[in-house]
Amino acid sequence: MEQEINLLEKSWYASALKLTDRQWLEVFPEGKECLREKAKSLCAEWKFLKEIITESLQHIKNTKINSFTDWFRKEMIKTWFGFRYNFVNKEIRKLNRIFKIDKPTKEKEDWIPAYQIEQARNTPFSEVIEVNRSGFAKCPFHEEKHNSLYTRNNFYYCFGCMAHGDILDFVMKTRDLNFKQAIKYLT
């Protein structure tokens, strides 16, 4: 019984949400203000610790006793303030990273999610050119009077000039767009 519960707990723990601070912030954007407050007070503490450590070390330097006592005094400062100083420093860096990532970067704006590509790719041809009932259209890649561009779903094949591809490729060539612009055009 005990073992089963342990197993259950393990699997529950394994399936639990593991979010970073940044992801939690996306879930609860209200937390941003709290974190800013936290960062502010950590910065104040950091400044205070830095001053006290600098002063103490300076004091030891000015009042040298003997190497053991001086070493011991330095160790005490490390224990009293040094560890806390390192911890505060780490926390501040962590928070700064969160705030930085929180700002939308250029890269993020350029990003195209996979579903959008899929959505663009699934656009039927009838939405970008005039297609007759049997799926034929006038080919934009060669001069012609009769329809020889055959389309089905989101693929095309021209029986006149053998041009072929999918809708994205078609839109890029006929509208002179790059990949990203073609996605935007179609979605």
Chain residues in the site for Zn ion (CB under 5 A): 139, 141-142, 158, 160-161, 163
Report the residue number, 88 or 171, with the smaller CB distance to Zn ion: 171
To Zn ion, the closest distance from the beta carbon of 168 in angstroms equals: 18
To Zn ion, the closest distance from the beta carbon of 121 in angstroms equals: 22
To Zn ion, the closest distance from the beta carbon of 145 in angstroms equals: 12
User: For the chain, how many residues are written?
Assistant: 187
Q: Quick count: other Cβ atoms within 10 Å of Cβ 144?
A: 14
Q: Where does residue 6 fall: left (phi above 0), alpha (psi -120 to 50 degrees), or beta otherwise?
A: alpha
Report the residue number, 163 or 182, with the smaller CB distance to Zn ion: 163
Report the residue number, 163 or 171, with the smaller CB distance to Zn ion: 163
To Zn ion, the closest distance from the beta carbon of 140 in angstroms equals: 8
Report the residue number, 65 or 161, with the smaller CB distance to Zn ion: 161
To Zn ion, the closest distance from the beta carbon of 173 in angstroms equals: 11
51/57 Cα distance (integer angstroms): 10
Any idea of the CA torsion for 72, 75, 77, 78, to the nearest 10 degrees?
A: 180
Report the residue number, 31 or 160, with the smaller CB distance to Zn ion: 160
Phi (first) and psi of residue 37, to 5 degrees: -60, -45
Q: Where does residue 24 fall: left (phi above 0), alpha (psi -120 to 50 degrees), or beta otherwise?
A: alpha
